[in-house]
């Protein structure tokens, strides 16, 4: 089948990889002129890690990744007041855990299909007209084209979802936080392999030292207003207003921000839908079931949705009606549980009161005792799902990786 995929982030190229492996003809459309670079650092583990291993990407991902040694909370004077050793993450995942730039993960996945799958950069699906035998797609720039199926892998603000299922407001649960991130070169303070974070009631700033003299900065703050700034100047003004009077390294961090372009800024939201498919259209990744950064696993979940959708299309002989229903049935409960636990984590991630911060810091100090750390972290790191081995089912190819 010819399958158009909107969005070449994490989910889109993963889907293209598996569809291509199973003998279909995917075409990727990405609105950016090239793969997006920069952004933020993600933790990568669990079922997404297993799927990446099946795709032969783990060597590259480990090379691009950082093995974080410590999460350190600091007060306004920069003195440690909580945190934990990150060994617990490796221990609870049998060392199948790394942290890397989201854009590096996206590039590694794309590398597996580069030259094999047609990709159109700088364009986007603009309209979808479904008929008995397929879909007729119009684009922002290219001439219209016909496909058998269409998939929206175009993230939290998915245009495919908007066109086929309805406006974002119907499906978005705004969690009341905003997030911003940027990268800078030459920041003078470096703590290798340490994620350093400063929390005040309702807001948090974090810094992570990267290779090549680069540093990543992340801001999360409480805000009930859904509106987002639309230019870098507006984003900088908002961050100055919210964080401008804070201690720790905020004066230096905001100074580094002033010389930076391309600040990531968004609402912390989830997408909750009754169904991720309609007719010949399917959604995957954040477009379908965004769990938000609070899940710490959105990339892995996006890859899982891509793998399962491709597997269902292949194992049902291309009957999209049966495959789409099976895709939804396989993942609905699992993803809903991930979303529920991410929502519960919000108060611990960015507490809204001084006593909330004190309590969070106390809990992390207790996590110096290994059994307590294993209990707290282990329950959130588990992926309670067994996925079929579609490679074996469809291609008769046995894999060492058990999902
Ligand atoms: C600050 C932060 C921290 C996070 N931390 C983690 C973490 O620790 N671990 C983790 O696993 N996940 C984390 N996540 C979540 C993770 O980044 C997402 O869940 C994941 O990127 C979703 O992948 P996706 O492919 O669905 O969407 P995206 O990665 O957003 O990709 C969507 C792609 O579609 C393109 N696009 C958008 N609109 C259009 C259009 N109209 N036409 C064509 N193309 C379009 C975009 O340019 C982009 O390339 C974090 C997120 C944030 C914001």
Rounded Cα distance, 365 and 146, in Å: 58
Q: Is residue 356 part of a domain?
A: yes
Count of the separate structural domains present in the chain? 1
Instruction: Find out whether the beta carbon of 296 lies less than 6 Å from any atom of ligand 1.
Output: yes
Instruction: Find out whether the beta carbon of 98 lies less than 6 Å from any atom of ligand 1.
Output: no
Q: How far apart are the first and last CA of the chain?
A: 26
Q: Is residue 182 part of a domain?
A: no
* Residue whose tokens read 């008929």: 131
Residue nearest atom 39 of ligand 1, based on CA coordinates: 154
By the 10 Å C-beta count (0-12 exposed, 13-18 middle, 19+ buried), 287 is classed as buried
The ligand 1 atom at the shortest distance from the C-alpha of residue 298 is 19
Q: What is the mean pLDDT of the chain?
A: 93
Q: Which DSSP category does 42 fall into?
A: E
Closest CA to 168 of 155, 176, 158, 177: 158
Residue percentage of the chain with pLDDT more than 70: 98
Q: Which DSSP category does 368 fall into?
A: T
The ligand 1 atom at the shortest distance from the C-alpha of residue 39 is 1
Rounded Cα distance, 220 and 358, in Å: 18
The ligand 1 atom at the shortest distance from the C-alpha of residue 266 is 53
Q: Is residue 223 part of a domain?
A: no
75-96 tens-digit pLDDT: 999 999 988 888 888 888 888 9
Residue percentage of the chain with pLDDT more than 90: 78
DSSP H or E segment with residue 3: strand 2-6
Instruction: Find out whether the beta carbon of 7 lies less than 6 Å from any atom of ligand 1.
Output: yes
**Ligand 1 centroid distance, CA of 9 (Å):** 6
Residue nearest atom 26 of ligand 1, based on CA coordinates: 285
The ligand 1 atom at the shortest distance from the C-alpha of residue 7 is 34
**Ligand 1 centroid distance, CA of 37 (Å):** 12
The ligand 1 atom at the shortest distance from the C-alpha of residue 99 is 8
* Residue whose tokens read 């800078």: 184
Residue nearest atom 48 of ligand 1, based on CA coordinates: 9
State the CB neighbour count (10 A cutoff) for residue 186.
9
Q: Residue 402 has what pLDDT?
A: 63
CA distances from 137 to 176, 275, 286 (A): 36, 22, 22
Q: Residue 258 has what pLDDT?
A: 95
Strand intervals (E) in 186-263: 194-200, 203-209, 214-222
For the residues of 342-367, what is the DSSP string, one character each? HHHHHHHHS-SSHHHHHHHHHHHHHT
Q: Residue 388 has what pLDDT?
A: 84
Residues 104-128 have a mean pLDDT of 98
Q: Is residue 340 part of a domain?
A: yes
Residue nearest atom 30 of ligand 1, based on CA coordinates: 155
Residues 312-335 have a mean pLDDT of 95
Rounded Cα distance, 222 and 374, in Å: 29
346 vs 119 pLDDT, higher one: 119
Instruction: Find out whether the beta carbon of 160 lies less than 6 Å from any atom of ligand 1.
Output: no
Q: Is residue 371 part of a domain?
A: yes
Q: Is residue 374 over pLDDT 80?
A: no
* Residue whose tokens read 């010949």: 280
The ligand 1 atom at the shortest distance from the C-alpha of residue 284 is 26
Q: Is residue 378 over pLDDT 80?
A: no
Q: Is residue 119 part of a domain?
A: yes
Instruction: Find out whether the beta carbon of 6 lies less than 6 Å from any atom of ligand 1.
Output: yes
Q: Is residue 73 part of a domain?
A: yes
For the residues of 117-175, what is the DSSP string, one character each? SEEEES--EEEEEEETTEEEEEESSSPPEEESEEEE---TT-HHHHHHT--GGGTEEEE
318 vs 217 pLDDT, higher one: 217
**Ligand 1 centroid distance, CA of 355 (Å):** 33
By the 10 Å C-beta count (0-12 exposed, 13-18 middle, 19+ buried), 317 is classed as exposed
**Ligand 1 centroid distance, CA of 10 (Å):** 7
User: How does 18-35 read in b/e, with b if 16+ C-beta sit within 10 Å?
Assistant: bbbbbebebbbbbbeeeb
Rounded Cα distance, 361 and 75, in Å: 11
From 5, 283, 293, mutation site for ligand 1 pocket: most ligand atoms within 8 A of C-beta: 293
> Tokens representing 279?
């007719």
Closest CA to 269 of 377, 353, 170, 124: 170
Rounded Cα distance, 217 and 198, in Å: 11
Predicted TM-score (pTM) of this structure = 0.95
**Ligand 1 centroid distance, CA of 111 (Å):** 17
Rounded Cα distance, 43 and 354, in Å: 27
Instruction: Find out whether the beta carbon of 8 lies less than 6 Å from any atom of ligand 1.
Output: yes
Q: Residue 384 has what pLDDT?
A: 76
By the 10 Å C-beta count (0-12 exposed, 13-18 middle, 19+ buried), 344 is classed as exposed
Residue nearest atom 21 of ligand 1, based on CA coordinates: 299
Residue nearest atom 37 of ligand 1, based on CA coordinates: 154
Instruction: Find out whether the beta carbon of 30 lies less than 6 Å from any atom of ligand 1.
Output: yes
**Ligand 1 centroid distance, CA of 155 (Å):** 5
CB-based contacts of 168, cutoff 8 Å, min separation 6: 157, 158, 161, 162
**Ligand 1 centroid distance, CA of 39 (Å):** 10
Q: Is residue 207 part of a domain?
A: no
| Domain that residue 290 falls in | 2-171+269-395
SS3 content of the chain, % helix, strand, coil (to 5): 40, 25, 35
CA 9 to chain centre: 9
337-371 tens-digit pLDDT: 999 989 887 777 778 888 888 888 888 887 777 77
pLDDT band at 399, cuts 50/70/90? low
Q: Is residue 108 over pLDDT 70?
A: yes
Q: Is residue 382 over pLDDT 80?
A: no
Instruction: Find out whether the beta carbon of 299 lies less than 6 Å from any atom of ligand 1.
Output: yes
State the CB neighbour count (10 A cutoff) for residue 50.
22
* Coil/strand/helix, residue 9: coil
CA distances from 163 to 125, 260, 379 (A): 10, 34, 38
- CATH classification at residue 330: 3.50.50.60
């Amino acid at each position: 089948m010819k399958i158009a995929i909107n969005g070449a982030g994490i989910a889109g190229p993963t889907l293209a990889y598996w569809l291509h492996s199973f003998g279909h003809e995917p075409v990727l459309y990405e609105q950016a002129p090239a793969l997006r670079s920069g952004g933020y650092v993600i933790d990568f583990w669990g079922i997404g890690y297993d799927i990446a291993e099946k795709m032969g990407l783990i060597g590259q991902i480990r090379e691009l990744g950082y093995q974080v040694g410590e999460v350190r909370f600091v007060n306004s004077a920069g003195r440690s007041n909580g945190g934990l050793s990150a060994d617990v993450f490796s221990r609870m995942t049998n060392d199948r855990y790394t942290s890397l730039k989201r854009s590096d993960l996206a590039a590694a996945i794309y590398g597996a299909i580069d030259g094999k799958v047609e990709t159109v950069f700088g364009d986007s699906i603009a309209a979808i007209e479904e008929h008995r035998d397929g879909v007729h797609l119009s684009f922002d720039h290219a001439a219209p084209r016909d496909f058998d199926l269409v998939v929206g892998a175009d993230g939290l603000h998915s245009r495919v979802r908007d066109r086929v299922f309805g406006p974002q407001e119907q499906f978005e649960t705004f969690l009341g936080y905003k997030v911003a991130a940027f990268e800078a070169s030459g920041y003078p303070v470096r703590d290798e392999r340490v994620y350093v974070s400063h929390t005040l009631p309702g807001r948090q700033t974090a810094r992570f030292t990267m290779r090549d003299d680069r540093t990543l900065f992340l801001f999360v703050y409480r805000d009930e207003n859904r509106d987002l700034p639309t230019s870098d100047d507006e984003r900088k003004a908002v961050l100055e207003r919210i964080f401008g009077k804070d201690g720790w390294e905020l004066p230096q961090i905001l100074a580094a921000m002033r010389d930076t372009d391309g600040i990531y800024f968004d609402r912390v939201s989830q997408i909750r839908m009754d169904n991720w498919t309609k007719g010949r259209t399917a959604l995957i990744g954040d477009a379908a079931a965004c769990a938000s950064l609070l899940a710490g696993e959105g990339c892995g979940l996006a890859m899982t949705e891509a793998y399962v959708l491709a597997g269902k299309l292949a194992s049902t002989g291309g009957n999209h009606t049966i495959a789409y229903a099976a895709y939804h049935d396989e993942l609905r409960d699992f993803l809903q549980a991930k979303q529920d636990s991410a929502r519960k984590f919000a108060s611990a991630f960015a507490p809204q009161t001084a006593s909330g911060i004190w309590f969070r810091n106390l809990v992390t100090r207790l996590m110096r005792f290994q059994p307590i750390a294993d209990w707290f972290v282990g329950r959130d790191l588990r992926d309670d799902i067994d996925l079929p081995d579609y490679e074996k089912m469809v291609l008769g190819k046995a894999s060492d990786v058990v999902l």
